[in-house]
Every structure is written in C-alpha cells, then in structure tokens.
Amino acid sequence: MRILFLAHSFNSLTQRLYSELAERGHQLSIEFDIADSVTEEAVALFHPELIIAPFLKRAIPASVWSRHVCLVVHPGIVGDRGPAALDWAIQKAVPSWGVTVLQAEAEMDAGPVWASASFPLRIAKKSSIYRNEVTEAAVQAVLTAVERYQEGDFVPQRVPGQAHAAMKQADRAIDWQAAGTAEVLARLNAADGFPGVADSLFGQPCHLFDAWPEATLKGEPGSLLGRRQTAILRATADGAVWIG
C-alpha cells in the first residue's frame, strides 16, 4: 500500500514506524510538514492510499484530510485531546497512559479512533518514556490501524473526550517551599528535553532539566545544599533533588 508520512521531523518514533511498515512491504514516502502548500504538493505527487502523521506540531490542512484518510498518532489515551498530552500525564502522575491512532478532522484529536494501545506509566523522564513505552504502543496501534484500513470493513468509532489546554510555564512552575520531591520530579520529568521548567538560580533566570532524587540530605526548602560535578542539590519540602 502507498503510505505518505507527514511529520514535523524524522524523529525516533517516525523512524521506527517507517521501518516497521517498510518491512511489511508498504511503499512509503515522507514529507516534512512545514506548510499547507508543501503538504498538498506531496499528496499530489505521491498519490497515497493512506496518510499517517506520527509526529506533528500543527494541524493537517482541510484540503488534505477532507479528501484522504489521515491517521494521526496521538500520545494519549482514548478520549484525550490537546497538546502536551504526555507532559500532562507525567506531571499528574497518572498510573497508566497510552497511544491513540485517530482520523484527522477539523477538531484536533477528536476524530474517530482506529486503534489504541496502553501501558503502565513509570516514573521517568519524558524522553525515556517517549522512546520506549510510547514508541512500542504506537507501533502496536499503527500496525493495527493499517491492517484494519486494508481490510476495508472496519468502522472507526467516535468517543467522547475533553480537550486540555497547552501546558504553559505557569502550569509547570515549582513552589519550592511547598512541593515535595515526588512533585518536583514529576514537573521536571514532564518538561524533560523541551521546554524545561522556568526558574531562577543564583539570582539569574534559567530553565531546569535533568533531575534525580537525593537519598539522605535535606535542608531549607528551595535552598542549595551542594554541588557534584555539573549538578547542584536543591532542597524540597521533604527532601532534595539533584539538578543537572
């Protein structure tokens, strides 16, 4: 089957899905989604039977999704809608999460569902979860969705859902006087890689990344307790965390 990939970048998830589908004999083309005109041209040149969007940062134009089946890989459970889905899940420390493959329509992440897969959400950095659990769930869900599309008799189902807002730095902010280590780690893990948590150190604005819990040391919440190589130790309400 002729499948066109629309992607913001050829990231690890897109590469994995590309390899999995190529191994199964599908003819693939990839286009970077930078403008509606570029996407429209790619569709006109390749004549895809199916369009898959593994990683997007903007909506597929109506000129494309209204004429072709476009399957969007959403890093959220069925019914979840909106950007930064994985960030919200990690920060809220939900016990399980998933990936949903849904059909693109006018409302973001609200189209009928073709497939989904779930996994336990471990306490870890966003990049690690994305490259492991999210990727494996996406492969499972996308392969199922492609098989269902090929069979031709599957009817995707609409499900109720609630859209969440984009996550802003105000949502990520850490109250060092009140937040315990678990909450601080959740907020920093959710912002891992991009965009980080806006904060200040030594009187200077900065973005925080790369946090690890300290086993024994404690101190005045928010205070700096020590340094080890390139990391500093900052006290939380009930312990401390190392910040790389």
Three-state SS sequence of 150-214: HHCCCCCECCCCEECCCCCHHHHCCCCCCCCHHHHHHHHHHCCCCCCEEEEECCEEEEECCEEEC
> What is the predicted pLDDT for the residue at 79?
94
- pLDDT, one tens digit per residue, over 119-177 is 999 999 999 999 999 999 999 999 999 999 999 999 999 999 888 889 999 999 999 99
| Mean predicted confidence (pLDDT) in 88-113 | 95
> What is the predicted pLDDT for the residue at 163?
87
| Mean predicted confidence (pLDDT) in 201-229 | 95
Residue 2 has pLDDT above 90, yes or no: yes
Q: Is the peptide bond before 195 cis (omega within 30 degrees of 0)?
A: yes
| Mean predicted confidence (pLDDT) in 18-32 | 97
- pLDDT, one tens digit per residue, over 36-58 is 999 999 999 999 999 999 999 99
> What is the predicted pLDDT for the residue at 147?
98
Question: How many residues in total does the chain contain?
Answer: 244
Strand partners, 161: none
Query: Which stretch of 159-163, 180-184, 217-221 has the lowest confidence by average pLDDT?
Result: 159-163
> What is the predicted pLDDT for the residue at 162?
83
| DSSP-derived 3-state class of residue 231 | strand
- pLDDT, one tens digit per residue, over 65-98 is 999 999 999 999 999 999 999 999 999 999 999 9
Residue 20 has pLDDT above 90, yes or no: yes
Closest to 82 (Cα-Cα) out of 172, 191, 190, 163:
163
For tokens 């609200």, the residue is: 110
Arithmetic mean of pLDDT over the chain: 96
> What is the predicted pLDDT for the residue at 107?
87
Q: Which pLDDT band holds residue 109 (cuts at 50, 70, 90)? A: confident
Across the chain, how many H-helices and E-strands are there? 8, 14
Closest to 187 (Cα-Cα) out of 98, 99, 123:
123
What does pTM read for this prediction? 0.93
User: Is the CB of residue 240 less than 8 Å from the CB of residue 218?
Assistant: yes
